[in-house]
Amino acid sequence: MRAAPTILHLDMDAFFAAAEQAAKPSLRGKPVVVGGLGPRGVVATASYEARRFGVHSAMPMGQARRLAPNAAYLVPRFAFYRSISEQVMELLGRLSPLVEPLSLDEAFVDLEVGGVADDSASARAAGEKLRSDILATTGLAGSVGLAGSKMIAKIASEEAKPDGLVLIEPGTERELLGPRSVRILPGVGPATGEHLRRAGMSTVADLVEAGEDELVRLLGRAHGTSLHRMARGHDDRAVVAERDAKSVSVEDTFDVDLHDRVRIRVEAERLAERCVGRLRASGHSGRTIVLKVRRYDFSTLTRSETLRGPTDDPGVVREAVGRLLDAVDTTGGVRLLGVGVSGLADFTQEDLFAQAEARAEAEAETGAVSGEDGGVGGGEQGGPGASEAGAGAVGGDAAEEASGSVERHWAPGHDVRHTVYGPGWVQGSGVGRVTVRFEEPGSVPGRVRTFAVDDPDLVPGEPLPLVGRGPE
């Protein structure tokens, strides 16, 4: 624990939804829900306007629509959110060399190492300047917590929401924590919280009174000891600048269970391609390929294969996924597929490339390429596999475009550009029509127009940069 509140925790307010409101003037001040829009979709983020109706993250999208039928429901644009996150993280890096990102919208900063703060006054000034800089750069609001430990700083930022700053003086932790629910402590989820409640411990003060021995008896040595320390306000965890990734993965949940074996393979190999894309973007290669299959009855199977060395070759990963899928019984239907790569390294094993190429050449010579492989090729070029995946899956980075004779899918919230009307975004589509609102981040709310889904003048667009608002 530190004597001064020099650990800062930043949490951007309703990040995905707020970013959409900043990009779309017509949505400002209105309820916005971002997430998977299919029957099995869940809420990723809800704006504060939507939260007033009871909508919250991880809620089934169907329930959210019942609570807030007039909200705007949008598909996530992760590339757009990442671009904003990079701007925010750059601002944090100006404060200190010790920045520990937890997600796109959340991070710890060690102000002491940065030499920015050594007491309460300087820490508060740094926090307020950060909030002002974020607003000026992105137009978005972030809440800041300041304390002498990571645990208390995170609690402070939660209390600061929305759009505020809370500083908790070191030495007041026990008083702050005592009356709070045990769920406020790291590592206490619903199951552990219920276990403690049944043992007569509902507040943090109850944990302190019970003592370390009793918590160890209930939860085990490691968890019990750690929880007792945190209940007394002790948290010596350091801010760590580099959080090494242990794995890279992608997954899709399908609106309708997949039964056709060829279609299942198409989707699995498409996910393998996406996973390799993320792997390469992170600058890593990996040695263990993992396939996740959730079946119609919600049973989940995980299969893995460890290669002789790390790779970032899509052919190698795709083949491994195919072999893993062959060992899984998909009778009855598949509702979710996932592909991951673990055992990460910052280099590749060159002989794996040669292995993949040799196998591909051998298959071509013997005519061993199956109809399934042809299906994957069609999907990559925007054939039926890609179109159906984009329309029926939730959780991907962006809606996938289809071409040729397949009707294009326009995802609500995604960017488009018209040769006459300029940039806009999709409000909705159906029955061969797509509705677009033409506006930009710095404009007034724009006009709405409707087009045929295959209108040649309407094409997917790139996100426009947000307009900073400056201090208010």
Q: Contact 142/164 with Cβ under 8 angstroms?
A: no
Q: Contact 429/453 with Cβ under 8 angstroms?
A: yes
Q: Tell me which residue of 427, 472, 468 sits closest to 446, measured CA to CA.
A: 427
Cα–Cα distance list, 230 to 177, 210, 213, 356 (Å): 9, 14, 15, 51
Distance CA 446, CA 228 (A): 55
Q: Contact 279/312 with Cβ under 8 angstroms?
A: yes
In the chain, count H helices and then E strands.
Answer: 16, 18
Distance CA 184, CA 167 (A): 17
Task: Name the token pair of 467.
Answer: 């307009």
Q: Tell me which residue of 235, 347, 373 sits closest to 280, measured CA to CA.
A: 347
Task: Name the token pair of 277.
Answer: 């894309």
Handedness of CA 180, 186, 189, 194 (dihedral sign): negative
| Catalytic residue from among 20, 49, 106, 173 | 106
Is 106 a catalytic site residue? yes
Q: Do β-strands 72-74 and 32-35 pair in parallel, antiparallel, or remain unpaired?
A: parallel
Q: Contact 144/10 with Cβ under 8 angstroms?
A: yes
* Amino acid identity at 225: T
- The DSSP call for residue 183 is G
- The DSSP call for residue 84 is H
Classify burial at 183, counting beta carbons within 10 Å of its beta carbon; exposed 0-12, middle 13-18, buried 19 or more. Answer: middle
Report the catalytic residues.
Answer: 106
